[in-house]
Chains A and B, each alone.
Chain A
Amino acid sequence: MEMPVPDAGVIKRKARIVQRLQEVLPLSAVIHDPAETRAYECDGLSAYRCAPLCAILPSSTDEVSAALRVCFEEGVPVVPRGSGTSLAGGALPTADSVILGVARLNAVIETNYPDRYIRVQTGRTNLSVTGAVEQDGFFYAPDPSSQLACAIAGNIAMNSGGAHCLKYGVTTNNLMGVTMVQMDGTVVEIGGAHLDAPGLDLLGVICGSEGQLGVVTEATLRILHKPEGARPVLMGFDSNEVAGACVSDIIKAGVLPVAIEFMDRPCIEACEAFAHAGYPMCEALLIVEVEGSPAEIDEQLGLIKQIAHRHNPVELREAKDAEEAGRIWLGRKSAFGAMGQINDYICLDGTIPVSELPYVLRRIGELTASYGLGVANVFHAGDGNMHPLLLYNANKPGDLEKAEALGSDILTLCVEVGGCLTGEHGVGIEKRDLMTVQFTTEDLEAQMAVKDVFDPRWLLNPAKVFPLASSDARRHQAA
């Protein structure tokens, strides 16, 4: 993956930059020893690594503002980092950049049940936001698989989703306001405890901007009361196509499950071997979860089972209690870990119209075979967000490159059928150079114009999202 040539001038001025940062931050918040900066050399896309110039860990909005002001004056690129779980290289540093980690910004600022929001510092992990309100029956809905580790800052940057967003929406639908620091240190307050924007929806464009418009230090998030209960049903089918058709029929029938998850045979086998969840051995498996009171759940699952029966399921298993529900989810939730046990893999994230599921699954199989690689599919079927895991051997020269080429082909296929490159992981560096498959020059110019306004010198996370060739002039006028 090509990255811009680091600015030698910045690297030469390291001592001065570190000293200036130490003047505005506690000593322990400036990490500059090469042995320690290595901890920030990569994120969840660990195939690519580069230690930053230094890393800073501010503990307040004021500290973030002061530190960004220094970087702005010194012309140093800044790479914001949540928990570093990005699968797209969103937090990958360059050698001339300062990593701004939000890990020390982890406080709950306000919890308000009558108005149904929580205000937190954005280094707080996704799961611990729910953790702060669950004793009172509330929860924060977006639930990315990495929710134990991932930070709200990263969720906002990538507009993260999760298994349950079919019903509750993704981050942008649950974000009410932010405090954000611009690259020059300016602090802006956008939104709050009320709904909708008074003028332009700046919050809407900040969410999902991959840390390129500003550093979000505080967020107001919508919280909801937990449903009375939830219950999954597991359904096995003897082909991907039939499972795909069943998904479409469930959605059309007017039931709105909170989650519809899909796994294919390679994934079922790996999960079963890893987690012993008791999955049936079949070609495709769906986990459908509904919520409500026991009677409401019965009614919805009744309908879903009726639909499933029309597609001749080889297995139909409804959880009778919490333990069985846990077992049904166990395999799915350990899918990425299970695959990681048996193989190196690249996890794709393209989204397609649900109607194209059977065709796209077949084409993925054909493309993978033509590269001589393996693939396992596990994904959020209700909203067409696919996660093909492309299996390769990191120790075999050329295998990673082959898997990346296959990944490009599959993502191009997703765009061709009316979908997109990434549904919830973000572009980062991983899909940066594929952006021209989905967008015209004019489409990309319009997006880059937004960055021009928020960060005119292109210092924030500059080498991400847009193809390097597209952003080249902007990044250089900045330097």
Chain B
Amino acid sequence: MQPETEIELAEAVRAAKGPLRIVGGGTRPVGRPIVGEVLSTAGLTGISLYEPGALTMVVQAGTPLAEVETALAAEHQRLPFEPMDHRPLLGTTGTPTIGAVAACNISGPRRIQAGAARDYMLGVRFVDGAGTVVKNGGRVMKNVTGYDLVKLMAGACGTLGVLTEVAFKVLPEVEAMATLTLSGLDEERAVAAMSAALGSPFEVSGVAHGAGMTRFRLEGFTASVTYRADRLSDMLRPFGAAKVESEPATVRAIWSGIRDVTDFAGKPGDVWRMSVKPSDAPGLIARMGAEVRLDWGGGLIWALVPEGTDLRGRIGPFAGHATLVRAAPETRAAIAPFQPEPAQLAALTAGLRAKFDPRGILNPGLMT
């Protein structure tokens, strides 16, 4: 099914006799493999409202992400949370949609400084599991009117409702950027260097480590980037001499590679994604025995492990969460792709699902 309007979509959900598999561009097959009739949002397209002077864009859920980014670029603006493109890592094809970015709360390296997709979502419209149309939030930057269901929808992967429209706060594109690179640090030293940078006043907008290189990104006005690159280099001197790259195309390529974890693209094995306290990362990595890439100053660990490995079982209890992002469907059926919750939180989650999707038909079981 591919409804063309929100009303049609609501009717489709209401009329559904069994489980629905909600699909945007189909580029991010994450979670438990599920069966169900495909309900595509690709028919809901278009930018409904874009006010560059108010830093606001309202867009239909099925709109290609590329269309959103092109429209923003024309006004010299951007999505600050830098959503990851999963296609290289997962080997998928298709057209990523803005609705899936919102529904799965997809962010990139800038998440550590600017925030996640959920932090830039101002409002949503969605169809719940009963086929009721609900709106929440709005299109203004500050809004505490009623409960924030926008956050609840961001990251629910369509299990509480099918997003039909999302309002975003956007930000200006930057004039200049630079990447500082330190070489040869082990994970422990790399995390220490990244923490030092993030604890500085220099507004580092990306901090990542992998393949022996520790990267720091600065963005802003030209003179400011130059100044901060100098100061940050001085600060990082105890960790080595930083090499500075400020050619925009090169800087962009470095960070889109980090964002999309292209180092693991096409390599055999399963890929896990862990969100942890940055200073816990070196210890966890030692327990993992896997090839890793770090983002968010060490707070995000990408791990490449042999197929079928239960990474959680291997490392034992830890603070944070681990998601199995890339694995064969059989593996994702056998190992919980999403971090199992403690009983009390699981009860709240189950309660919310029962309210928003009483028949259990929206991507049922996807997040278990």
Contacts and interface: CB of A to CB of B under 8 A. Distances in A.
A359 interface: no
Interface string A210-242: 000000000000000111100000000000000
B199 A113 contact: yes
A420 B123 CA distance: 11
B134 interface: yes
Interface in B221-243: 221, 223-224, 227-228, 231
Interface in B129-147: 132-136, 138-147
B321 to A, nearest CB: 3
Given A169-B119, A192-B319, A450-B152, A352 B140 contact: yes
B173 A196 contact: no
A94 B357 CA distance: 35
A252 interface: yes
Interface in A342-392: 351-355, 380, 383-385
Contact of B320 (A113, A194, A252): A194
Contacts of B76: 254
Contacts of B355: 449-450, 452-453
B111 interface: yes
Contact of A446 (B55, B279, B356, B367): B356
B54 A251 contact: yes
Contact of A353 (B115, B140, B144, B192): B140
B349 to A, nearest CB: 5
B316 interface: no
B195 interface: yes
A438 B137 CA distance: 10
A203 B227 CA distance: 38
Given A199-B349, A443-B136, A450-B149, A192 B155 contact: no
Q: Is the interface of B mostly helix, strand, loop or mixed?
A: mixed
B46 interface: no
B349 A383 contact: no
Interface string A426-447: 1100010001001110111111
B35 to A, nearest CB: 21
B344 A225 contact: no
A471 B144 CA distance: 19
Contact of B136 (A226, A385, A446): A446
Contact of A427 (B139, B145, B155, B349): B145
A385 to B, nearest CB: 4
B142 A173 contact: no
Nearest to A188: B344
9 contacts: A188-B344, A196-B118, A203-B151, A207-B151, A383-B141, A385-B141, A446-B128, A449-B355, A453-B351
Interface of A: 112-116, 137-138, 158-159, 161, 165-166, 169-170, 172-173, 186-190, 192-205, 207-209, 225-228, 248-249, 251-256, 292-293, 295-296, 299-300, 351-355, 380, 383-385, 418-427, 431, 435, 438-440, 442-447, 449-454, 465
The 10 lowest CB-CB distance pairs between A and B, nearest first, are: A204-B151, A198-B321, A254-B172, A423-B142, A453-B351, A198-B339, A193-B277, A383-B141, A194-B320, A449-B355
Interface of B: 51-56, 76, 105, 107, 111-112, 115-116, 118-119, 128, 132-136, 138-152, 154-156, 160, 171-175, 192, 195, 198-201, 220-221, 223-224, 227-228, 231, 275-279, 296, 299-300, 319-321, 323, 338-339, 341-342, 344-345, 348-349, 351-352, 355-356, 367
